[in-house]
Amino acid sequence: MAQITDVWSNESVEYHPEFGGSSVQCWLGSLGYEVSLMNTAIQMGQQKTLRDLYMVSDRTRGPEGYVLAYDNAWKVGKAIAENGDNYYLRAKAAATTGAKVIMEGYDKKELILTSKQLLVLKKIITELEGLPDNEDSFYEYCLKKYKDEVPDFNPKSYGL
């Protein structure tokens, strides 16, 4: 997803030897070609064209590219902005909107999801819609949940 840069390349490459060097070295080679293409596009005044080509080519390749496509990212940003300064409500709105955007893409047959992805997406939407509408209730919900699920959970360890 060069439309937003390769932000997770370091985390997604498992380290092991390959014919061209370590897996990280081989991936960095590909990333180098990508950076060169981007720099050349800038030098030729074609950066917006390249950006748009990346977006169009990534849009339907998976949920990540779909939700980051301009029109869909705008919907998520709008949901954040509509929730003022409350970080909890902003985060909840962003997550809910993003998940629903992906579901809409699937429903409109613009995006293919595996059966597992679809199952998880439906579960995520249900869970997000079930979250409380205020931060204090969410805090109490989480406090109970983690005390029940994590035997050594101590809120003081997290400054709570």
pLDDT digits 0-9 by tens, 133-144: 999 999 999 999
Contacts of 149 (CB under 8 A, 6+ apart): none
Cβ-based neighbour number of residue 11 at 10 Å: 6
Angle of helix 87-107 versus helix 115-129 axis, rounded to 10: 140
* pLDDT tens-digit map of 50-92: 999 999 998 999 999 999 999 999 999 999 999 999 999 999 9
Cβ-based neighbour number of residue 69 at 10 Å: 20
Band the pLDDT of 27: cuts 50, 70, 90: confident
- Global pTM reads 0.78
In angstroms, the CA 58 to CA 128 distance is: 26
